[in-house]
Amino acid sequence: MSKATKAIRQLPPATLGALQKLGADLSVARLRRKESLRTWAKRLGVTLSTLQRLEAGDPSVSIGIVASALWLISRDGELANLAAPEHDQGALEMNVREAVELGLARAQVSAEARLRAANPIDSKED
């Protein structure tokens, strides 16, 4: 089994569902434009079979083909924001946790310094 096959088999169900919805939405976009599978495949530069897999939400269809399909419906601009750092909730939450931990550590050091300043004799005995 190739690494790509293993990765696809391990996709979370919600991700598979999102890909299927994307494929269905692309199919609707094509139909609303009154384009046949054959015409749309030609415009994308893919085989009819690949387009059918794309519209079925097959996760093995390349991201380049997905991007081209989004371009055909003028939605490719969204790709630039999908993984933008400012929208990375997991990393943002990590940054907040680190800031809180740093703040707590600084507060502890500050409190210890105040105690030492208040009791200079105890500090000299250490």
* 107: confidence class by pLDDT, cuts 50, 70, 90: confident
How do residues 45-94 score in pLDDT, each as one tens digit?
Answer: 999 999 999 999 999 999 999 999 999 999 999 898 888 888 888 887 88
Q: Looking at residues 29-56, what average pLDDT do you find?
A: 97
User: What pLDDT, on a 0 to 100 scale, did the predictor assign at position 102?
Assistant: 80
User: Is residue 1 predicted with pLDDT exceeding 70?
Assistant: no
* 105: confidence class by pLDDT, cuts 50, 70, 90: confident
CATH of residue 13's domain is 1.10.260.40
* Residues 36 and 73 occupy one common structural domain: yes
* Residue predicted with more confidence, 73 or 125: 73
Q: How many domains is the chain built from?
A: 2
* Residues 8 and 29 occupy one common structural domain: yes
* Residue predicted with more confidence, 31 or 112: 31
- Containing structural domain, residue 49: 3-82
* Residues 24 and 63 occupy one common structural domain: yes
User: What pLDDT, on a 0 to 100 scale, did the predictor assign at position 91?
Assistant: 81
* Residue 44 structure tokens: 């994308």
User: What pLDDT, on a 0 to 100 scale, did the predictor assign at position 12?
Assistant: 95
